[in-house]
Amino acid sequence: MFPPGFRIGHATDSVRRTGCTVILAPPGTVAAVDVRGGAPGTRETSIFTPGNLVSEIHAVVFSGGSALGLAAATGVSLWLRERGVGYPIGPARVPIVAGAVLFDLAVGDPDAYPDEAMGRAACDAAADGEVPCGPVGAGSGALVGKLLGISRASRGGVGVAAQDLPDGTRVAALAAVNAFGDVVEPDSGRVIAGPGAGGGGFRTERALREDSLDESPLAASHTTLVCVACSLAFDSGALRRVAIEAHDGIARAVRPAHTVVDGDVVFALAPSGTTPPILTRLRVGAAAADAAARAIVAAVEASAGPGAPR
């Protein structure tokens, strides 16, 4: 599903409803990131600013547990370091591991969060090929459409989608979906996750504009996290535009998106190289947005459906 060389693994605690997902990048991969949510929880995002010293990346970690879940990335870093993977600085090698978290502490055990051991376990489980989707890894405790509270939300999760361009370039996306807004079918706008899933006509966007919502619990915090991977070489500056365009996919599938209570983040990964021609860049950006939207839909379709489990 992802381009060759990428390996993806989950560590899941289905009882305490938390977990993490790791994307291990092949050698020579560079990264870019774009943060659009108003409440992000991230690690190593500023390092990928074009012009900075380091643009390569060795892994991306998505984790539950809110800020506490950033500990999983330390486990991934140690796992990579033990295998000689890292950016060379003198005699040392420092793994470059970026990450972002979502809030699942109000769903399962509020004292449970992914730690170093869980980060290591995700690395041990990482493999190429098909990626397990649904309420696994970082999506173990994810919910969608929480304007009316957790009892009216739908289950979120992890989803993956990919597209091959005419020149053979593969663009894939992995999404961990814990959105405040509803997840909709991008073409029709039909609500497939959230309080209005399955009928009834409720739409979070409309309710925010028209309903009083005086008693809205606004339960928990919210995030849609996406990692896009491309098989075509990019430089980090041009790759950032791919990350920006991939946010269009979040907006197509999550309504509303990029709110002040969401932590929406997109990472874009590709082999290091020179800037592709303009038409190619346009194609990759369009494919990244499409893959991100379809990965979000795949996450909720692979999960439990309307009505969050207790």
Q: At what angle do helices 71-82 and 116-125 cross, to 10 degrees?
A: 50
Which residue type does 12 have? Answer: T
Determine the Cα–Cα distance for residues 279 and 242; give it in Å rounded to an integer.
13
Average pLDDT over residues 158-178: 97
Q: Mean pLDDT, the chain, as a whole number?
A: 92
Do residues 235 and 273 touch, judged by C-beta distance below 8 A?
yes
**Per-residue pLDDT tens over the stretch 83-111:** 999 999 888 899 999 999 999 998 889 99
Q: Three-class SS of residue 1?
A: coil
pLDDT above 70: residue 310:
no
State the DSSP H helix or E strand holding residue 285, giving kind and residue range, or none if neither: helix 278-301
Assess whether pLDDT exceeds 70 at residue 305.
Answer: no
- In this structure, the strands spanning 182-184 and 59-63 are unpaired
Question: Which range (131-140, 214-223, 269-278, 284-293) has the least confidence?
Answer: 214-223
**In sequence order, what E strands does 148-211 have?**
154-155, 157-164, 170-178, 182-184, 191-193
Residue of 66, 85, 87 whose CA lies nearest to 76: 85
Quote the percentage of the chain above a pLDDT of 70.
Answer: 96
Q: How many CB atoms lie under 10 A from the CB of residue 115?
A: 20
Q: What is the DSSP string of 40-88?
A: --EES-GGGSTTSS--B-SEEEEESSGGGGGHHHHHHHHHHHHTT-SEE
Q: Which residue has the higher pLDDT, 17 or 308?
A: 17
Name the pLDDT band for 170 (thresholds 50, 70, 90): very high
pLDDT at position 216 is 67
Q: Are 73 and 21 in contact (CB under 8 A)?
A: no
| Least confident window among 9-23, 217-231, 242-256, 271-285 | 217-231
123 or 91: which carries more pLDDT confidence? 123
Element (H, E) at 238: helix 236-253
- How do residues 243-255 score in pLDDT, each as one tens digit? 999 999 999 999 9
CB 117 within 8 A of CB 65: no
> What does the pLDDT read at residue 29?
96
List the domain boundaries for the chain. 7-301
Lowest-pLDDT range of 228-232, 244-248, 304-308: 304-308
Quick one: fold of 7-301? L-amino peptidase D-ALA esterase/amidase (3.60.70)
> Is 198 or 279 the better-scoring residue by pLDDT?
279
Look up residue 129 and give its amino acid.
G
Sign (positive or negative) of CA dihedral 116, 176, 167, 244 = negative
Band (pLDDT 50/70/90 cuts) for residue 306 is very low
